[in-house]
Structure 1
Amino acid sequence: MSNLELICRLCDLLDRAQQIIRRQASLLAEHGIETSDGEIERQRGALLREIERNI
């Protein structure tokens, strides 16, 4: 497996994990528990920018 393939697989896992987190946050919000401050999205963006710089 090449480095690029590995990075693509890791990005896919990151996307799926973030989808799960968003669904869980949505369920919590339905019960009046607020969880979203945008931090997850900011960290994901920073990680993807770092990956792009190193490809």
Structure 2
Amino acid sequence: MPAPAVHCRYIGEWVVTKHRWDLAVDQAEREALLSYAAGCLNVNLAFERAS
């Protein structure tokens, strides 16, 4: 299993990509992401919407 910081960064980048490209998230994916991210503290990511 990857180091926690790497794991949290990956989850964050996944979410940023979904937001940036306005991609849908179904309920199962949302619940999984929330579960995986539960132990991630102080992760701040920013994005700009794709044009």
Normalised-by-shorter TM-score class: 0.3 to 0.5
- Tell me which protein shows more helix as a share of its residues: 1
**TM-score normalised to the size of structure 2?**
0.47
Quick check: which has more Rg, 1 or 2?
1
**TM-score normalised to the size of structure 1?**
0.45
